A = this chain, B = another copy of it.
Amino acid sequence: MTLSLQTILKQRRQRLAEKFPDKALLWSGRAPARNFPANTFPFRPSSHFLYFAGLFLENAVIELEQGKLTLFMDNPSSESILWGGEQPSRDDIATEMGADRAYPLAELSPTNEEIATIALFDSTTYQEQCHYLQRTIPQPSQATGKDLALIEAMIDLRLCHDEGAIGEIRQAAEVSIQAHQAGMEATQAGKTEAEIRAAMEAVMIAHNQTPAYGSIVTIHGNVLHNHDYSHTLQEGDLLLADVGAESKGGYASDITRTWPVSGQFSPTQQEIYDLVLAAHDACIAMVAPDVEYKDIHWQAARIITKGLVEIGILKGNVSDLLANDAHALFFPHGVGHLLGLDVHDMEDLGDVAGYAPGRQRSERFGLGNLRLDRALKPGMTVTIEPGFYQVPAILNDPQTQETYGDVINWERLQQFSDVRGIRIEDDVLVTSEGAEVLTAPLPCQRDKIEAMTLIP
């Protein structure tokens, strides 16, 4: 039986009350202006607000205390109804979300009462927060006192997803899978990256979903966060697509596939693809309650290092190479991150969510980019996304060449010049039994991808 929105939200605030008994105020924020106020970007509420409010309510505030929800928002103006049509009233919305009380915004008066909140990055809303609470609210990563206690309670709640959240991630994953299938089907030499991106994002728009983050659709997979789509696909290229949808309720999916434009990997591409896939599969096989996510990261690093030694790109003993972070030359990022209402879930809080209490980011090359260092628990959803890249900014760096020059077989590496970047990424739910790959229906085996990309 699927729980109603009211029931899901009620359970969330009751769980909050157990962890944080005091009063909290959370702001939804506003759609940012695209140069002038009447033309805005799409509205996306603050994720902390959305977790308890469930609905995309612009310019609204909720008060949470002892399991009770009070909504502050204005009824639509007559101007807004004239241009925007009939809209639910504040009372309609209060009923839909199961609020205990609902008032106009004017009922929210500046107060000296010590009420916890979480700062938004939107400056206009942030100023409102400071105004109503009559104090300078610290950025989330600097929070203290009640604000910090609220943040810690939120992390406790949001780390492990409830049924409602998992249902939303499944919806986002389903559309993302279809988007990747559309991208594979659209792939053809002579088209541009932009055309493949269009085929993929059109699937999201058609389902009334949006990209959860700026899509990466590139033949230059070595540029990790590439938002240029201008290149024309050539026969020998690999296309890397890191594209995920956001569900109507605001939950993210995050999938990467890398496929050959021609439908056929070259032998060198195949060799590296199989290595990244082996790392991907082994990491997913490790996902289970109580497993340390950092160990999964090191598993990926170990498999990639071992494989690169066997292929002859790296030289030396695998353990020594790992101890010296040599894998990060080709796998410079972490193996993944939390996934939820944000694609990097709760990254607005800094590392407080991703790193267990007492743990801190390493300064080591590669490991310093790991976004998650916690023991896994049922309900957590993480990405698993190992990769191999030839990043010029790393490989051509004199410092790199001095430190790692001897462990890289540059001639051998030269032979893999047609492998700029490969990443394979899936979304994995930790269950009490082990794990469920939410994005599993999308094949990532080489032969299946080939079958899908063959132009009919």
Contact = CB atoms under 8 A, between A and B. Distances in A.
A78 B86 CA distance: 51
Contact of A206 (B44, B192, B224): B192
Given A123-B127, A208-B229, A214-B42, A220 B36 contact: no
Interface of A: 32-42, 44, 46-47, 78, 81-86, 121-124, 126-127, 192, 194-195, 197-199, 201-208, 213-214, 220, 222-230, 332, 341-344, 347-348, 391-394
B36 A82 contact: no
A84 B226 contact: yes
Nearest to A226: B85
Contact of A347 (B38, B47, B83): B38
A131 to B, nearest CB: 13
A82 B225 CA distance: 9
Given A194-B207, A201-B205, A342 B83 contact: no
A157 to B, nearest CB: 17
A33 B348 CA distance: 10
A64 to B, nearest CB: 19
9 contacts: A34-B213, A36-B121, A38-B347, A39-B342, A42-B214, A82-B332, A85-B222, A194-B206, A199-B202
Nearest to A218: B85
A117 to B, nearest CB: 15
A37 B342 contact: no
B213 A206 contact: no
Contact of A44 (B35, B37, B195): B35
Contacts of A201: 201-202, 205
B82 A391 contact: yes
A244 to B, nearest CB: 11
A274 to B, nearest CB: 26
A127 B381 CA distance: 38
B214 A40 contact: yes
Nearest to A50: B35
B206 A84 contact: no
A373 B143 CA distance: 51
